[in-house]
Amino acid sequence: MELNQFYNMDCMEGMKQFPDKYFELAIVDPPYGIGMDGGKIGGDNLGVAKDHVKKEWDSLPPEKEYFEQLMRVSKEQIVWGANHYISKIPFDSSCWLVWDKDNTGNFADCELAWTSFDTAVRKFRYRWNGMLQENMKNKEIRIHPTQKPVALYKWLLKNYAKPGDKILDTHVGSASSLIACYDMGFEYIGFEIDEDYYNMAQKRIEENKAQLRFDFSLED
């Protein structure tokens, strides 16, 4: 498999293609098992919820075999939603990450990520509340029910990756992680098993690349 590519396939099959500790860092957002895989998501009293096609991929969290494979192919890991399945991760962590979504309503105020780093707990505050986003000037179009902002992944890369690191995302979803990698010059591999989300994410990646080329041309 080539670097800087995004594959429409099962990540368990994909990870088998790589030797031990090939990736310096895995940043992953697997299913939490809480049913956030479609329906009306993201609405509040300021905007109508977007109706996502129900997919049924969030009925169960990942099995232990997933984490075994993930830790085999990567040196360090950041795993979103691990508070929902911490018993399946075999190591404690001093460095949990907190994304404060500046949220209101029925959804969680924050999301948590387990990490393999031996440092302190850190918090990133970035509004992601229905139609309201931290950066309303460059508002992101939501194509996935559990989409996270590109800015969150850029913060992760800035603080937990080093220049030259290869990044793995096993559940790409909306491709926010890969867009952040591309913008910041990190090599990556991504997997997404759902063909519909894969196609939408691929389009989003290409649109981001085209926008960057346009922005650079204006600077010349």
Closest by Cα among 115, 209, 103 to 156: 115
Identify the bridge partners of residue 113 per DSSP, sorted by sequence position.
80, 97
Q: At what angle do helices 195-219 and 176-184 cross, to 10 degrees?
A: 30
Side chain identity at residue 89, one-letter code: I
Residue-wise pLDDT tens digits, 197-213 = 999 999 999 999 998 77
Instruction: Report the distance separating Cα 42 and Cα 60, nearest Å.
Output: 21
Residue-wise pLDDT tens digits, 74-91 = 999 999 999 999 999 989
pLDDT at 60: 83
3-class secondary structure, 209: helix
Identify the bridge partners of residue 123 per DSSP, sorted by sequence position.
98
pLDDT at 108: 85
CB-based contact 157:180 (threshold 8 Å): yes
Provide CATH code, domain 5-219. Answer: 3.40.50.150
Side chain identity at residue 18, one-letter code: F
Side chain identity at residue 24, one-letter code: E
Query: % helix / strand / coil in the chain, to the nearest 5?
Result: 30, 25, 45
Mean pLDDT by 10 residues, the chain (220 residues): 96 97 98 74 52 74 94 98 93 96 81 97 92 88 91 98 98 97 97 96 94 68
Q: Return the number of other C-beta atoms located less than 10 Å from residue 153's C-beta.
A: 25
